[in-house]
Amino acid sequence: MAQLKNSGVKSCEELLTAFRKSETKPYGAEKIVFGGTNGKDVYNITAPFEDEGEPVIAGRVEHRDSEDSEIRFFVNRGGEWVMRDGSPVFSLQDPFHTRIAGELIVGGVQTYPHPTMEGRLGWRTVFYRGSGLTRLEPFFQGPDFMKDLRLVQLRDGSIGVFTRPQGEKGGRGKIGFTRVHALDDLTTDVVSQAPLLNGQFLDDEWGGCNEIHLLSSGLLGVLGHIARFDEAGNRHYYPMVFVFDPETETFTDMQIIAERANFLQGPSKRPDLEDVVFSGGLVRRPGGIAELYAGVSDAEAHKITIRDPFAGFDT
């Protein structure tokens, strides 16, 4: 099994240079077509997951000129993904999913009026649980001003918690980790007090986790994003991965696995969001490849095929 090699913090530019020099490039870019949305965009999707025997994609649905978002659930009908009858609709952004002790866990980002800044929004991550999409019930909300809060069931049955505080503790956003024995042990204090994984981000850059894969070795394959502003204030988001050992809390270097130019051309929500790829999910396939599902430019949802970034870390 490959070793967890870590050579210290690297900037977006350094990681992007290494990616562009790599021998294996993403291929097979596709736009995922969604129907029945009444002109609204669907982006920042999850990878397909199974619910009641059928693949489902959760997506962020909103008008191009609005941040008023809903999470809706889509199924494939003849090559087009359409809203699934009877599925819930959540007034949230940026969906994600996992399974813990057999239960489906679905979450997203809830916005609310900023407590001190008029006209601005605050945000928090909220979670639902249930045996299936039609039986989801809310069970936990993370601390205020924390996105990219993710859960994963570990090999011993406990639950790994990846956090992303901002401000005094995390700057523009750094990843933290802790673990709890059960979902009922989650509290905002537990999440807020999770130690940071030091040495991942420069102080003027940021990132977070999007989806966690439990590997057969017990290690965790983390799909996330790393981001920066340029001098003109434009945002640049890149999908990245690293491998994390929950026992020793050591981790590999991050690797950028794609950039906006690897996907098909398309519109952006705003000019400053043209170079944005927001990781949605990774489907590992036989033969050492994987499909990366992502939101691009805050306007569309695409997928590409890449080399499986976690191959070599299974037992």
State pTM to two decimals: 0.96
Give pLDDT, residue 115.
87
pLDDT tens digits along 157-193: 999 999 999 999 999 999 999 999 999 999 999 999 9
Amino acid at 310: F
- How confident is the model at residue 3, as a pLDDT? 83
pLDDT tens digits, one per residue of 19-28: 999 988 999 9
- Do residues 203 and 166 make contact, with C-beta atoms less than 8 angstroms apart? no
Structure tokens at 141: 């909300």
Q: Which of 75, 81, 83, 135 is nearest to 105 (CA)?
A: 135
Q: What is the DSSP string of 32-91?
A: PPEESSTT-EEESPPPPEEETTEEEEEEEEE-TT----EEEEEEEETTEEEEPTT---BS
CA distance 258 to 240: 8
Q: Which helix (H) or strand (E) holds 226?
A: strand 220-229
Q: Provide the pLDDT for residue 243.
A: 98
Residue ranges, the chain, pLDDT below 50: none
Burial of 48 from C-beta contacts in 10 A (0-12 / 13-18 / 19+):
buried
What is the sign, positive or negative, of the torsion defined by CA atoms of 101, 102, 103, 106? Answer: positive
* pLDDT for res 18: 97
User: Residue 90's pLDDT is what?
Assistant: 98
